[in-house]
Amino acid sequence: MKIYTKTGDEGMTSLYGGKRVSKDDIRIEAYGTVDELNSNIGSLISSLTNNDQEELLLEIQRRLFTIGSILASDPAK
């Protein structure tokens, strides 16, 4: 099954807010890296038994989600 977004690809992607940028834009690379780090922290949390460590990592995750949302948004808006 094919999925169509009706915006075409042409090496571009949209930021939150609609601005189109190149898929190799540093902003796209940065929020992908932040998302990957957040995912790895989630895996680590699932194996912890120390609640203090878990709380610290959960706070880091919350901050990474905020950073990711800023990176994924149009800076002009």
Q: Is the pTM of this model over 0.85?
A: no
3-state secondary structure of 46: helix
Cα(77)–Cα(75) distance, rounded to whole angstroms? 5
Contact 72, 25 (CB under 8 A): no
Residue type, 29: E
Cα(11)–Cα(3) distance, rounded to whole angstroms? 16
Residue ranges and CATH numbers for the domains of the chain are: 12-71 (1.20.1200.10)
Per-residue pLDDT 10s for the chain (77 aa) are: 776 666 666 788 888 888 888 888 899 999 999 999 999 999 999 999 888 899 999 999 999 999 999 998 888 87
Which tokens sit at 54? 């878990």
